[in-house]
Amino acid sequence: MSSPKAYCVFITHQLSVQTFGWQRLFQPLITRLIYRHIKKFDELWIPDYKDRQRNLSGRLSHIKTFPIENYHFTGPLSRFNPDDKIKVNEETGLLVILSGPEPQRTVFEQLITKQLLQSKIKATVLQGKPGEYKTRNKKNITCISHADDRQMATLIKSAEIVLSRPGYSTIMDLSVFGKKAIFVPTPGQTEQLYLAREVKKRGYCYFEEQASFNMVRAIEMSKKYAGLPQLTKNKKLDDLVGKLLSRIQDTPSK
């Protein structure tokens, strides 16, 4: 929310919502509503690389005309710090990260569990159940109900391949470690489908849709992809934050 009494910054990668099929009829209206809202702010920060050839969000952020002139690409943002020294105790092979709303989180977990047991592929499954801190083993699967940021960073860095939903926050987190990944979009979430297609087109990561997902095939295909471009220390963001703090300290409220 903006305020005429303060200097306000809007942070988003969703400047051009990507829709499919009949939903495209509403895309111009959605874009106008987004722009109308952003124009109330003093600055726009976009969490991606400015380079149109080397970026993570594609047409979601890289558009011809921006809603305001004072916009900046900050570089990807992540809860993880590229400079942190994360110790890898043991390579875990496949790491599955479950997330998102029910019932699709459980539907996906059941699909993954069934195929892992059938294939006998060794995997660690992070179930995404906040409030629970349990670890249990089921044949070739190690299930972890929840992990804090430090534990999650260790799991991701230790994994050879990560299987997850392609939410933009997840993609940015995985880019900190330059990971190879397999993405399976949540059914009905058009942004995830667009992002999965985009990273595949750029040669970063493989993806399959949930209805036709095959674990063995996906792992084999993922080996042909380079992995996400690795995020380095974000000096651009440090500069922007520094300038913003100076402005707040030096400028009286509106």
- Whichever domain contains 125, its CATH number is 3.40.50.2000
pLDDT at site 27: 80
73 with 98, same domain: the answer is no
User: Angle formed by the axes of helices 104-119 and 215-222, to 10°?
Assistant: 80
Structure tokens at 233: 């220390």
pLDDT at site 75: 92
pLDDT at site 168: 97
68 with 129, same domain: the answer is no
Q: Give me the residue label for tokens 């990260």.
A: 97
108 with 175, same domain: the answer is yes
- Does the pLDDT value for residue 220 go beyond 90? yes
218 with 240, same domain: the answer is no
Residue 88 lies in a domain: no
116 with 195, same domain: the answer is yes
| Distance of alpha carbon 46 from alpha carbon 157, whole angstroms | 26
Mean pLDDT across the chain: 90
pLDDT at site 199: 96
Pairing of strands 180-183, 206-207: parallel
Residue 69 lies in a domain: yes
pLDDT at site 130: 80
99 with 163, same domain: the answer is yes
pLDDT at site 158: 93
pLDDT at site 125: 96
Q: What is the mean pLDDT of residues 247-253?
A: 70
- Does the pLDDT value for residue 3 go beyond 80? no
186 with 117, same domain: the answer is yes
| Distance of alpha carbon 30 from alpha carbon 176, whole angstroms | 31
pLDDT at site 247: 83
Q: Is the dihedral of CA 114, 194, 205, 66 positive or negative?
A: negative
pLDDT at site 19: 77
26 with 108, same domain: the answer is no
Residue 53 lies in a domain: yes
Mean pLDDT lowest among 23-37, 135-149, 186-200: 23-37
Residue 117 lies in a domain: yes
138 with 109, same domain: the answer is yes
Residue 227 lies in a domain: no
For residue 11, name the pLDDT band (cuts at 50, 70, 90).
Answer: very high
Residue 82 lies in a domain: no
- Phi/psi at 240 (5° precision): -65, -45
Q: Give me the residue label for tokens 């087109």.
A: 201
pLDDT at site 118: 96
Residue 100 lies in a domain: yes
- Phi/psi at 36 (5° precision): -60, -40
Q: Where are the beta strands (DSSP E) in the chain?
A: 9-11, 43-46, 71-73, 93-97, 123-126, 135-138, 141-144, 159-164, 180-183, 206-207
245 with 150, same domain: the answer is no
115 with 213, same domain: the answer is yes
Number of structural domains (the chain) is: 2
Amino acid identity, position 57: S
Residue 229 lies in a domain: no
Could you tell me the residue range of the domain that residue 59 belongs to?
9-77+234-250
pLDDT digits (tens, 9 = 90+) for 69-106: 999 999 999 999 877 778 776 767 899 999 999 999 99
190 with 153, same domain: the answer is yes
- Percentage of the chain beyond pLDDT 90 is 68
For residue 174, name the pLDDT band (cuts at 50, 70, 90).
Answer: very high
